[in-house]
A and B are shown apart, each in its own frame.
Chain A
Amino acid sequence: MSSSSPASGAVGRVSRAREYLAELWRRREFAVALGLGNLKARNASTSLGLVWWVLNPLLLGAVYFLVFGIFFQRQEPLRFLVYLLSGMFPFHFTSQAMTGGANSIIQNAKLLANLRFPRLLLPISALVESLVGFVASLGVLMVILFIAGQLIPETFFTFRLAYLPLVVLIHLTFNLGLGALTARLAVPFRDLNNLIPYVNRIWLYVTPIIWPLSLLDGLSGPMRSLVQINPMYSIVGLYRSALLGTPFIGDQVVRALAWSALTVVVGVYLFVRQEGHMVRYL
């Protein structure tokens, strides 16, 4: 088939990429409607509906808070709580993006077989779906932070909060790449769906969310670098800077930007390169 494509070479690739992006943009309403539709449908059968999107990370946070904050008798449990949740919620968004991406193609097999559209719209619609929940959970986090700020003699809300949208954007880009990547991999390898929960669990444990940053001091140099190379290490760090008022660390900003750029380019490239063949796997 490659011989029949009129545009070839680097120039052709650029113009095809442009066309693809233009079509993606033209069909954006479809991705949003599909994502919101799935969100609504998923909650239609539960009595609490959308509340679950806030409740899920909240309950998850509550469990860990109970275990690590109360049973282990950490000092200043409230401070630990905001530390925990400011990491847990963003992490939850990323794990949703992984799961959603992996399911997005298989769940929409009928659409794929019948209609022509840029396939990337499917992982994007999954991302839209999880973004709604994430924004809701950020709202809850703000309320908690506000209450905690009254109790702890130290301000949580600083001028750095203004950077939050930027942090979310970096995170969103990273998740888009990750979702495209898992979508690409899950089509030929259905086994991936069984694997993702374990990947998620390990990823959570190696990210400073349920354990304090001070734990890093006890690690050797190479080990510490290994922990810090984790993209979520930097992304969660940015959230904490924006939400809890700790200073931004240059290293973290650079790493988060680099990770999200790399992930989105690699993820989308691998996805788009294979999307013409996806229908054969369904």
Chain B
Amino acid sequence: MTRPAILVEHVDVRFRPFVDRKPTLRRSLANLRTRQVEEVVALDDVTFRVEKGEAFGVIGRNGAGKSTLLRVMARTLKPNTGRVVVNGRASTLLQLGVGFNPELSGARNIYLGGLSAGLRKAEVDEIFDDVVEYSGLGDAIHRPVKTYSSGMFSRLAFSVSMHLDPDILLLDEVLAVGDAEFREKSMQSMRDLLDRAGTIVFVSHALPQVADFCDRAMWLDAGRVRMIGEAKEVVDVYREYEKERRASAG
């Protein structure tokens, strides 16, 4: 097998709530005396690989560590232990429209979005027309983004992300955006990406979408890998488990 797109090996992420989360001066002073050692384990010995050309789903309950995992793969969060290898240009749609400034026009935001993702200004110049065209925003591109509907906003953001020409897309709860027509277009773009041996990691609560769209899936539970396998199978087992859990709880 060739090099995987993403390799995650024995990754642990732990947060120390007192020290890591907004320690105010008062808390820090308090910490000097009573050392807080209690840790929250967000990811616990997580290991998996995602192949090129694969759509990989990550499912699990709230707080299972899905978004933390996405951040680790985007390499904005360093794991406490373990190794993460990403072969390719990762573009995250972790949050759609990162780097956008709502007070500014759509056109300016294309530049902001492109530059924040690592493009040079000259490179944004090159893709600019295509981004506008793909978004279908027309003259609205010169209006401040704060006047956009949420659909228009996500169309622009999605269009910028797709034109960054990523090898790897990291998606958090966003698979298709905009109206029916744009959804079809965005789904087609993602299928094209997979055909070009691109890779998509899709974190979602939308189980039918994961089952439909992804080749394989992983079930995270309290930071641990419960199951990795064919997407439909993992989704089914997860559903069954959740149903039982609810039944026994209620």
Residues of A within 8 A of B (CB): 1, 4, 26-27, 29-30, 33-34, 37-38, 40-42, 44-45, 110-117, 188-191, 276-277, 279-281
Q: Is the CB of B103 within 8 A of A280?
A: no
CA of A191 to CA of B23 in the docked complex: distance in angstroms? 9
- Pick from A29, A114, A276, A277: contact of B74, CB under 8 Å: A114
Q: Which of B59-117 contact A (CB under 8 A)?
A: 71, 74-81, 83, 92, 94-95, 98-99, 101-104, 108, 111-112, 115-117
Return chain A residues, CB-CB under 8 Å to B144: 44
B118 pairs with A117, CB closer than 8 A: yes
Contact (A34, B112) CB under 8 Å given A29-B121, A115-B98, A189-B28: yes
A1→B15 CA distance, assembly (Å)? 15
| Interface: B143 (CB within 8 A) | no
B90 to chain A: closest CB distance in Å?
A: 8
**B139 at the binding interface (Cβ < 8 Å):** no
By a CB distance below 8 angstroms, the chain B residues around A190 are 22, 24
Q: Which residues of chain B are within 8 angstroms of A4 by Cβ–Cβ distance? A: 83
Tell me, yes or no, whether B21 is within 8 Å of chain A by CB. Answer: yes
Q: Which residues of chain B have a CB within 8 Å of any CB of chain A? A: 15, 20-25, 28, 71, 74-81, 83, 92, 94-95, 98-99, 101-104, 108, 111-112, 115-118, 120-121, 144
Residues of chain A contacted by B121 (CB below 8 angstroms): 29, 33
Q: How far is the CB of A238 from chain B (nearest CB, A)?
A: 34
Shortest Cβ distance from residue A111 to the other chain B in the assembled complex, whole angstroms = 6
Contact A114 B95 (CB under 8 A): yes
How many Å lie between the Cα of A112 and that of B78 in the bound state?
A: 13
* A-B CB pair tally, cutoff 8 Å: 96
B98 to A110, Cβ gap below 8 A? yes
The minimal Cβ–Cβ distance linking A269 to chain B, given in whole angstroms, is 19
The contact of B99 among A29, A40, A111, A277, by CB within 8 Å, is A111
Q: Which residues of A contact B120 (CB under 8 A)?
A: 26, 29
Q: How far is the CB of B139 from chain A (nearest CB, A)?
A: 19
Across-interface contacts of B115 in A (CB, < 8 A): 27, 29-30, 33-34
**Would you call A115 and B21 a contact (CB within 8 A)?**
no
Give A236 to B144 CA distance when docked, in angstroms. 40
Give Cα distance in the complex from A1 to B83, angstroms. 9
Alpha-carbon gap, A111 to B77, bound state (A): 12
- List, in ascending order, chain B residues with CB within 8 A of A37's CB: 101, 104, 108, 112
A116 and B101 within 8 A (CB): no
Contact of A115 among B22, B28, B116 (CB under 8 A): B116
Whether B24 contacts A191 by the Cβ 8 Å rule is yes
* CA of A276 to CA of B25, assembled, Å: 21
Q: Could you tell me the distance in whole angstroms from the C-beta of A105 to the nearest C-beta in chain B?
A: 12
Other-chain contact of A189, B15, B23, B71, B81 (Cβ < 8 Å): B23
Interchain CB contact under 8 A, A116 and B25: no
Chain B nearest Cβ from A277, distance in angstroms:
8
A34 touches B76 (CB 8 A): no
CB contact between A41 and one of B76, B79, B101 (< 8 Å): that residue: B101
Q: In the complex, are the beta carbons of B76 and A116 less than 8 A apart?
A: yes
Bound CA–CA A259/B154 (angstroms): 47
Pair A38/B116 contact, Cβ less than 8 Å: no
Distance, CA A29 to CA B119, complexed state (A): 9
Bound-state Cα–Cα, A188 to B75, Å: 21
Q: Which of A26, A110, A114, A189 contacts B24 (CB 8 A)?
A: A189
The 3 tightest CB contacts between A and B, nearest first, are: A41-B103, A30-B115, A114-B98
